[in-house]
Amino acid sequence: MSTSTVNVPVASPLTAGQRIAMHYFIAAMVLFLAQILFGMISGLQYLMPDVFYNQLDFNVTRMVHINAMIVWLLFGFIGSVYWLVEDEAKTELVGAKLALINFWILTTAVAVVVVVYLFVQVGPGELKSIWLINEGREYIEAPRWADIGIVVCVLVFFYNIAATFMKGTWSGISGVLVLDLVALAGIYCAGMYFTPNISVDQHWWWWVIHLWVEATWEVLVGCIMAWGLIQTLGASRKVVTTWLYIEVALMFGSGILGLGHHYFWIGTPEYWLSIGGFFSALEPIPLVAMVVHAVYDSGRHGFKSANHPALAWLIAHAFGNFFGAGVWGFMHTLPQINLYTHGTQWTASHGHLAFFGAYATINIAMIYIALQRVRGNVWMSGGLSDNGWKWKWSLGLLNGGVVGMTVALLIAGYDQSFVERALEGSTWSGYFQAQQSAWFMQAMNWRMVFGCMTTVGILLMFWDMLTIGTSETRGKQALAPLPE
Residues from 356 through 415 that contact another protein (CB under 8 A): none
Element housing 286 (H / E): helix 284-300
Q: Which stretch binds another protein (CB under 8 A): 72-80, 117-125, 147-155, 385-393?
A: 117-125
Closer of 51 and 449 to another protein (Cβ): 51
Chain Cα centroid distance, residue 417: 27
Q: Which stretch binds another protein (CB under 8 A): 27-35, 319-327, 341-349, 453-461?
A: 341-349
Identify the CA nearest to 78 among candidates 176, 164, 161.
161
Residue 148 Cβ, how far from another protein at the closest point, in Å? 17
Please state the length of the chain: 484
- Which of 176-188 are b and which e, b meaning 16 or more Cβ less than 10 Å from the residue's Cβ? bbbebbebbbebb
Phi, psi of 380 (to 5 degrees): -135, 30
Q: Does 257 bind another protein (CB under 8 A)?
A: yes
Q: Does 134 bind another protein (CB under 8 A)?
A: yes
Q: Does 473 bind another protein (CB under 8 A)?
A: no
Distance CA(206)–CA(192), nearest Å, equals 12
Residue 426 Cβ, how far from another protein at the closest point, in Å? 4
Q: Which stretch binds another protein (CB under 8 A): 91-99, 264-272, 294-302, 377-385?
A: 264-272
Q: Does 345 bind another protein (CB under 8 A)?
A: yes
Closer of 83 and 264 to another protein (Cβ): 264
Closer of 343 and 475 to another protein (Cβ): 343
Q: Does 342 bind another protein (CB under 8 A)?
A: yes
459 by Cβ neighbours in 10 Å (0-12 / 13-18 / 19+) ranks as middle
Closer of 29 and 184 to another protein (Cβ): 184
| 15, 268, 399, 406: which one binds another protein (CB under 8 A) | 268
Q: Which stretch binds another protein (CB under 8 A): 84-92, 145-153, 248-256, 362-370?
A: 248-256
Q: Does 126 bind another protein (CB under 8 A)?
A: yes
> CB count, 10 Å around CB of 292?
13
Interface with another protein in residues 184-223 (CB under 8 A): 194-203, 205
Identify the CA nearest to 255 among candidates 293, 285, 290.
285
Q: Which stretch binds another protein (CB under 8 A): 8-16, 38-46, 70-78, 450-458?
A: 38-46
Q: Does 49 bind another protein (CB under 8 A)?
A: yes
Phi, psi of 54 (to 5 degrees): 65, 10
Residue 94 Cβ, how far from another protein at the closest point, in Å? 26
Residue 108 Cβ, how far from another protein at the closest point, in Å? 23
Phi, psi of 300 (to 5 degrees): -60, -25
Q: Does 427 bind another protein (CB under 8 A)?
A: yes
Considering only CA atoms, give the Rg of the chain.
22
Q: Which stretch binds another protein (CB under 8 A): 11-19, 97-105, 133-141, 149-157?
A: 133-141
Q: Does 348 bind another protein (CB under 8 A)?
A: yes
Interface with another protein in residues 222-241 (CB under 8 A): 238, 241
Q: Does 253 bind another protein (CB under 8 A)?
A: yes
Residue 160 Cβ, how far from another protein at the closest point, in Å? 24
* Close Cβ partners of 369 (under 8 Å, ≥ 6 residues apart): 83, 228, 231, 232, 307, 310
Q: Is 475 helix (H, G, I), strand (E, B) or coil?
A: strand
> CB count, 10 Å around CB of 65?
20
Residue 263 Cβ, how far from another protein at the closest point, in Å? 7
Interface with another protein in residues 51-90 (CB under 8 A): 53-54, 57-60, 62-63
| 170, 245, 296, 389: which one binds another protein (CB under 8 A) | 245
Query: In this structure, are residues 289 and 311 in contact, taking their beta carbons and an 8 Å threshold?
Result: no
Q: Does 484 bind another protein (CB under 8 A)?
A: yes
| Number of residues in contact with another protein under rule CB under 8 A | 90
Residue 318 Cβ, how far from another protein at the closest point, in Å? 19
Identify the CA nearest to 375 among candidates 468, 454, 451, 277.
468
Greatest Cα pair distance, the chain, in angstroms, is 68
> CB count, 10 Å around CB of 139?
17
Query: In this structure, are residues 389 and 313 in contact, taking their beta carbons and an 8 Å threshold?
Result: no
